[in-house]
Structure 1
């Protein structure tokens, strides 16, 4: 368990620069960073989180309350919940995916995260800036942000398969994103 850690800059609990890592049955909660990745900052390599929980992490910086990534990341049966990005232009309360990275969620959830800064904060759930994202039997629900979209913001299209859903986010699920994820309503 990674609990109540603090980083002045990146990755409140984990700052992963390169190499390959697998985290099984791991909980990261109540961690804080002063810049990106309240819980985790993934700059390169690959990381898998299996049967894990990324909960209630916070960044006062610009992006990624739970996870900030430009790596190859796979979440399997993993919950990303209650994370917050708090800067006035914060992006990705749950997950921020940078160009060049890949993100796969399989049987996972991104729920109840927020981008709640006082300015133009977007995407309480997932903010994808040029990366590749696949949702497989996964959900992005009940996230919130200051401005639209509340659930997902993306500039390339997501791949959504096997009954994945994006719903009950505020102020919108996907409206306000330059690309509306296939199957996302409102």
Structure 2
């Protein structure tokens, strides 16, 4: 093989997507002249070379357009991720507002809003409209003490009537 690409065509298999090995080197000579063919001019060989070069040019142009399409695709992915993040933040704000207002799970669907402040206001309105108490529910299974002054825990609770107490004190 010759080291001068201007006089000898490349006979090695090209790794450029199907360019045949019998085409001359596509590296332009340093003197600015077109490469010379060795031997007789073969029109089929020249046609294959031109077709391969045109295909390579079309592939290069397609690749040149690819960054713009990649940027558009990445922007759409970014917008989708931003939307998911916003939705998850709103879901977290809704869960927090529902828990703070002590709204039961079956009423949580009535809490709406597009900002955390709107969600909080909606939760407070739902709690007021449906009569949800802000008092925590007693712990289930735990006894409630019935403390009445002057009575023991086992006594039944009596209401205090001062007139009855006065009559009993006078002995009537």
The reply to whether TM is greater than 0.5 is no
Pick the TM interval, shorter chain.
under 0.3
Q: If the length of structure 2 is used for normalisation, what is the TM-score? A: 0.19
User: Relative contact order, CA 8 A, sep 6+: which one is greater?
Assistant: 1
TM-score (norm 1): 0.18
Please identify which structure carries the higher strand content. 1
Give 1 or 2 for the bigger CA radius of gyration: 2
Q: Which has the higher helix share?
A: 2
